[in-house]
């Protein structure tokens, strides 16, 4: 019964799947002469540089508007910290670190190509139901990876030498996502994001869709705005972690619920705002305890 339903759904979407596959094969052949290394270096640049800076510029413009107009500022989670985001020296440090991490990703992409067991991928674009399956598994894998490694980085010795860097931004902005020590970037971002598609042997089209999706969601999670709707939880959840460095180690809160590391968050004013609906003005969070 279920298999029959899956077959029927895939049958409906098959013409679209085939058309995407033909376009992808054409593009891969003409633009990259079927060379996966050229393709992946190009896509690393496009996703981590172009997407990162375009999305970051949009959020930064919105932050600037919030700085100028109080009617917009009240939708920022930590409005009183906004001035600090526009400190030139701080911003240059952030841009430098993002660039370092971009080049670090070029090295990882190149390295992967010289270890055959690290790059196994399907030859066909996934069917619709396979796509949904890979998407759900990748979300669970990234949530688990992010939660446990991130939590581990809060052990004093790791925190002091690695993770403290990211927490310099107590009121994060979208670009803060790449303001991480390269070791943390590799352990918390790169591995958990790539693990899902690698375990599943995903087609490159899915892998790159997933990388860009994760990047944009991660940036919105760091944006410091209340009303950003994304599939991996609203920014409020991770903003709380930046504000107080305690609990909320995951993205969606799934593993925080299981391990009860979201208890402090649930007792705070952050959590009251977590439940408000679009159109309501959030309650201001202005003290150092978040409550
Ligand atoms: Zn963060
Ligand atoms: Zn942390």
Mean pLDDT to the nearest integer, 229-240: 76
Q: How confident is the model at residue 279 (pLDDT cuts 50, 70, 90)?
A: very low
Distance from the alpha carbon of residue 113 to the mean position of ligand 1, in angstroms: 29
Q: What pLDDT digit, counting tens, does each position of 5-32 carry?
A: 888 888 888 899 999 999 999 999 999 9
Distance from the alpha carbon of residue 250 to the mean position of ligand 2, in angstroms: 9
pLDDT of residue 275: 59
DSSP E strands, the chain: none
Q: How far apart are CA 288 and CA 285, in angstroms?
A: 9
Residue among 147, 170, 179 nearest 252 (CA):
147
pLDDT of residue 206: 93
Distance from the alpha carbon of residue 140 to the mean position of ligand 2, in angstroms: 19
- pLDDT > 90 fraction of the chain, expressed in percent and rounded: 49
Distance from the alpha carbon of residue 163 to the mean position of ligand 2, in angstroms: 7
> Do the beta carbons of residue 200 and residue 181 sit within 8 Å?
no
Q: From the CA of 172, which ligand is nearest?
A: 1
- DSSP state for residue 252 in the 8-state scheme: S
pLDDT of residue 278: 47
Backbone angles phi and psi of 102, in degrees to 5: -65, -50
Distance from the alpha carbon of residue 167 to the mean position of ligand 2, in angstroms: 7
pLDDT of residue 250: 92
Distance from the alpha carbon of residue 71 to the mean position of ligand 1, in angstroms: 26
Q: From the CA of 218, which ligand is nearest?
A: 1
Distance from the alpha carbon of residue 34 to the mean position of ligand 1, in angstroms: 37
Q: From the CA of 149, which ligand is nearest?
A: 2
Q: What pLDDT digit, counting tens, does each position of 57-89 carry?
A: 999 999 999 999 988 888 888 888 888 888 899
Distance from the alpha carbon of residue 176 to the mean position of ligand 1, in angstroms: 7
């Amino acid at each position: 019964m279920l298999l029959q339903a899956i077959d029927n759904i895939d049958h409906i979407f098959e013409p679209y799947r085939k058309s995407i596959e033909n376009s992808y094969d054409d593009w891969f052949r003409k633009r990259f002469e079927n060379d996966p290394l050229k393709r992946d270096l190009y896509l690393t640049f496009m996703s981590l540089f172009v997407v990162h800076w375009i999305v970051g510029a949009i959020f930064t413009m919105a932050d600037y508007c919030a700085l100028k107009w109080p009617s917009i500022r009240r939708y920022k989670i930590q409005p009183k910290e906004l001035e600090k985001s526009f400190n030139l020296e701080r911003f240059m440090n952030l841009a430098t670190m993002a660039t370092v991490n971009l080049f670090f990703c070029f090295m990882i992409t190149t390295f992967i190509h010289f270890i055959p067991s690290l790059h196994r991928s399907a030859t066909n674009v996934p069917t619709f139901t396979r796509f949904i399956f890979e998407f759900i598994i990748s979300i669970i894998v990234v949530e688990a990876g992010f939660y446990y490694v991130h939590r581990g980085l809060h052990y004093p010795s790791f925190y002091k030498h690695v993770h403290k860097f990211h927490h310099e931004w107590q009121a994060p902005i979208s670009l803060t996502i790449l303001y991480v020590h390269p070791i943390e970037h590799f352990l918390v971002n790169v591995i958990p994001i790539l693990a899902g598609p690698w375990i599943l042997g995903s087609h490159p089209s899915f892998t790159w869709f997933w990388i860009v999706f994760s990047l944009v969601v991660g940036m919105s999670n760091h944006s410091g705005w209340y009303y950003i709707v994304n599939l991996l939880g609203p920014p409020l959840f991770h903003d709380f972690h930046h504000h107080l460095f305690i609990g909320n180690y995951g993205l969606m809160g799934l593993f925080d619920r299981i391990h009860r590391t979201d208890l402090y968050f649930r007792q705070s004013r952050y959590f009251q705002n977590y439940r408000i609906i679009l159109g309501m003005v959030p309650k201001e969070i202005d003290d150092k305890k978040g409550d």
